[in-house]
Structure formats: C-alpha cells, structure tokens
Amino acid sequence: MDSALIPEGAKRCAFPKFAVGIAIVGAVVLWGVYAMLLCWFKGLNQTNMNDNYGFALWIWADLAVIAVGGGAFFTGLLKYIFKVDELKNIINFAVIIGFICYSSALLILAIDIGQPLRGWFIFWHANVHSMLTEVAFCLSCYFAVLTIEFIPNILENRQANKIPFFHHLAHNMHGVMAIFAATGAFLSFFHQGSLGGVAGVMYGRPFAVREGLLIWPWTFFLFTWSAAAFGPCFTLLVTKITETITGKKLVKDNVVHLLAKISGWMIFTYIIAKIIDTIYWAMVTAPGLGFDISRFYSDNSFYGYWILLTEIVICGVIPGLLLIMKSTRENPALRLVAIILGVIGVCLNRWVMVLQIMAIPVMSFDTWALYIPSWQEVATTVLPVAYGIILIAVTYRYLPVFPQEKELNSVEPAAETK
Amino acid sequence: MFPFNFEWAWDIGHAIFFGGFWYAISILGAGMTYCVLKAAYDTLKDGGGSHH
C-alpha cells in the first residue's frame, strides 16, 4: 500500500500491522491530549501543584527529556566538529531522538505555563535577569537547529528525493551542517547549564544552592556535563529497543562500542566531579547555612540516603566503569545494563534537583511536603512518550535513518518485521 | 525583544541575552537562506531533472 515510500531495499511490516500499532499508541496520545485540553480550558487546578510545588512533575519531565536529548548535540558535536566519522551511522537517529525530546519539552512547557497564548511574552517581554529566560531562548533556537538537522533526512525519503530541488536542498544542508551543529552545541551548553544553574542559585534552598565560578554555580557545569555524558546512553538505549522491536541489526557494533566508550568516559569524569561537588556541599556549603546533611534525608517517608547512593553509585559510578572497560563495554548484556542505569541516573538526578528540593523543609516550622501528581499531569507526561514512539515508527518506516541497515540485513530471509 | 519595545534598555543584560539570541537566529537564517538559494540555483543549472 505504501511501498513506494519505503526506502529502497528495506523491508518493513505490512501496512495494516503498522497501522494497528500506530492506532494503539495513538490511543495513549489521545488520552494525553484530553488531559492537556483539560489543563488549558479548565486551568492548572487540574494539577496537584500548590504553594510548595510551583515546579512539579512537568518540570522534572522537561529537565529529564532535555538531558537525555543531549545525545543529539553531543553526537553532532563529535561528528561535525571533532570529525568522528563513524558516528555518521547513528547521527540521523540521534537527531530524531533529540527532535522528539525537545519538541516534547516545548509541549510540556506549553501546558505548564497554563496560558499558552501568552507563551510569546517570554521573548517579547523578556526578563534579562532570569536563567529561565536564557533557557527559553536557547531551547527554542536549539529546537530550530534540530529541525534543520532533521530536514535533510526527511528530504531523503524515496519519493521526496526524486524532486530535484529537494534533492539539492538536502545535499546543500549536509554541506553546511557543521555550522548548524556548532550553533546547536553553543545553545545546548547554555540551556543545559542554565537549567542546573536555576537550582544552584536558590539561596533560600540549602539543599540546592552551590558555590561556583563567576555567576555560574557548579550545578551549571554539572548539568551540561551530565547531559553530554548520559544523552548518548539514551540514544544507544532507543537504538537497542528499535533493533529489538524490528528484529534487525541497524547499527554496526564498532559504532555502538565507540559511542558507548565516549559516553563511559564522560560519565566517569562527570561522576568524579559530582562526588567532589556533593562532598563539598555536604561538608561546607550546607553546614555553613546551618543545615546538617542528615536533615535532607530523614524524617520523611520517601527521601532517604538511598536516593543519593542510587544516583551517584548505582546509576553513576557503575555505568561509568562498565562502559570504560573494554570487556564489559563489548558485552551486550552488561552494556545494556550500563546504559539503562545511566538513563535512570540522569533522570533521578533531575528528580532530586527539581522535586526533592521542593519537598525539604527550610524554615523551622516547616514540614516535609511530599507530592503525588494528578492523573492529568501523568497523562500529559506520558503523552510525549507515545508521540515519540509514533514519530520513531513513522521515520523508521519511511526514511533512510540507518545507513548501515541494508548492509547489515542483506542476507536475511524476507521475514517482514516492523 | 526589539529596541522599539517600551521596556527595552541599552544595558548589559539586554546586550548579552538578545545579542546571543539574535546571533543564533542570524546564523540559522543565513545558513538556511544559503541552502535554499543554492538548491534553487543547482536545480535550474541541472535543468530541473537530473540527480548528481
């Protein structure tokens, strides 16, 4: 039915099977859209946000997808600026994942601001003393970069590429992609950093505040570093999931090993910096503000030392070590464990830096304020996941996303998989 | 956002924020303009038909 659109030489499942899959995930999208419309038409009273939680599940989801979407800017930086040529075999997919993550982040923000019709105020009436203004600027511009990086792949669709103008446009965009990638890296450095900086400058929140360099708290650098470190883990994880669902090998092992190795060293160096930062904060910064570290991890039913150990040791040190050692990195099962732990680790870090901050009592008369999101918040947070699955399915089916797919699957029987 | 907006001020904050913003927008705009114009030129040069 749609065979004329499928990349030449690629095998895809029958269209009805594909349509059923899309319809199932589409139902989840509709659930999320319904919740989103409730928030827009009835207001933010549909959420469980309150005076304690001005930042809640949405902002965690926002920071998490931006962190894991960091694989796009870091892979682009390595491919186009540092000329790591092997990564050309995964860069298309990294860009698509980044596009999904950043469009999801913008969608979540559009819901979170309550009145999306006033979204343009942040540009028109910008508060130039706010790190979040910088985040909004960089996020919007970087989404434009990702769109530009995505366009050539769309134009390489079998039918679109027959149109000479589109063919030349895709070719020319590839030619100057290094400029766009460098701009993307510049923008990513600042918005990833400023998201961390927001926590680090909360002087009224001793759990979050950090010293730093000039106007930038250490969390600014740790957030950028962690996004560059763990973003490629998410790219590898989604690639693995796609390979499992399609039943095909899509990227050669040497490419996966290389990206895993780079990610491993980034994680390892990041986690050393994170440990130093944590020790200094626990020994100097927090006590200097009159808070003992135990105050942040006791007298409540959820946040204990387990969350600190899980983030730093289980989901930081262990994946870092597994990915820098050749024997464990090249073991598919251990590599998968490492990248899953890495993705959980960076999401947990964002959770701590958004939600645990809000939960901890600051004043002597305060108590812990734990938070459970409403179903509308959950549905609108699941919405981008379902949208991402659909976009990956559609792009995989109709676009030449993986340059090595044909070579790696040329001798397979004609068994059709999604 | 623009110097003609009432709340605009010629200070370091506006210079850094909007300097960076317009710098990025200019690079993206110039890059895409170049790609589109060159694609149109290449298409016309090829007679609108062949791939290379």
At residue A216, the 3 state secondary structure works out as: strand
Give which of B28, B31, B41, B29 is closest to A165, Cα–Cα.
B41
pLDDT digits (tens, 9 = 90+) for A210-262: 999 988 999 999 999 999 999 999 999 999 999 999 999 999 999 999 999 99
pLDDT confidence of residue A49: 93
Rounded Cα distance between A307 and A278, Å, is: 13
Q: Which pTM does this prediction carry?
A: 0.94
Inform me whether the C-beta atom of residue B40 falls under 8 Å from chain A C-beta atoms.
yes
pLDDT digits (tens, 9 = 90+) for A84-104: 999 999 999 999 999 999 999
Per-residue b or e along A378-416, where b marks 16 or more CB atoms closer than 10 Å to that residue's CB: bbbbbbbbbbbbbbbbebbbbbbbbeebeebbeeeeeee
Q: Where are the domains of chain A?
A: 15-401
B43–chain A nearest CA distance, Å: 6
Rounded Cα distance between A417 and A385, Å, is: 22
Count of beta carbons in the 10 Å neighbourhood of residue A33: 16
Task: Indicate the residue of A123, A129, A138 with minimum beta-carbon distance to B1.
Answer: A123
> Domain A15-401 has what CATH class?
mainly alpha
| pLDDT band, very low/low/confident/very high, at A411 (cuts 50, 70, 90) | low
pLDDT digits (tens, 9 = 90+) for A373-409: 999 999 999 999 999 999 999 999 999 999 999 999 9
Q: Minimal Cα distance from A139: which residue of B?
A: B21
Q: Read off the amino acid at residue A414.
A: A
Inform me whether the C-beta atom of residue B37 falls under 8 Å from chain A C-beta atoms.
no
A125 contacts in B (CB within 8 Å)?
Answer: 1, 5, 7
At residue A98, the 3 state secondary structure works out as: helix
pLDDT confidence of residue A416: 47
The yes-or-no verdict on residue A325 having pLDDT over 70 is yes
Residue B16 belongs to what H/E stretch? helix B12-45
ipTM for this model: 0.90
Rounded Cα distance between A327 and A321, Å, is: 11
pLDDT confidence of residue A81: 94
pLDDT confidence of residue A22: 97
Inter-CA distances, A238 with A62, A90, A103, Å: 18, 11, 17
Inform me whether the C-beta atom of residue B19 falls under 8 Å from chain A C-beta atoms.
no
Query: Contact, A146 vs B30, CB < 8 A?
Result: no
pLDDT digits (tens, 9 = 90+) for A339-375: 999 999 999 999 999 999 999 999 889 999 999 999 9
Task: Indicate the residue of B27, B31, B43 with minimum beta-carbon distance to A164.
Answer: B43
Inter-CA distances, A248 with A96, A318, B44, Å: 19, 29, 41
Residue showing tokens 């508060």: A127
A216–chain B nearest CA distance, Å: 15
Task: Indicate the residue of B5, B21, B39 with minimum beta-carbon distance to A165.
Answer: B39
Task: Dig out the tokens for A363 from the structure.
Answer: 């004043």
Average of per-residue pLDDT across A150-178: 96
| pLDDT band, very low/low/confident/very high, at B6 (cuts 50, 70, 90) | confident
pLDDT digits (tens, 9 = 90+) for B8-51: 899 999 999 999 999 999 999 999 999 999 999 999 998 755 55
Average of per-residue pLDDT across A317-342: 97
pLDDT confidence of residue A413: 52
The yes-or-no verdict on residue B1 having pLDDT over 90 is no
Give which of A376, A297, A313 is closest to A345, Cα–Cα.
A313
Task: Dig out the tokens for A125 from the structure.
Answer: 């009436």
| pLDDT band, very low/low/confident/very high, at A2 (cuts 50, 70, 90) | confident
Query: Contact, A91 vs A386, CB < 8 A?
Result: no
B3–chain A nearest CA distance, Å: 11
Q: Give the pairing of strands A212-213 and A216-217.
A: antiparallel
Contacts of residue A129, defined as CB under 8 A and 6 or more positions apart, other chains included, come to B13
Backbone angles phi and psi of A213, in degrees to 5: -115, 120
pLDDT confidence of residue A101: 97
Give chain A's mean pLDDT. Answer: 94
| pLDDT band, very low/low/confident/very high, at A132 (cuts 50, 70, 90) | confident
Share of chain A above pLDDT 90, in %: 88
Rounded Cα distance between A342 and A320, Å, is: 8
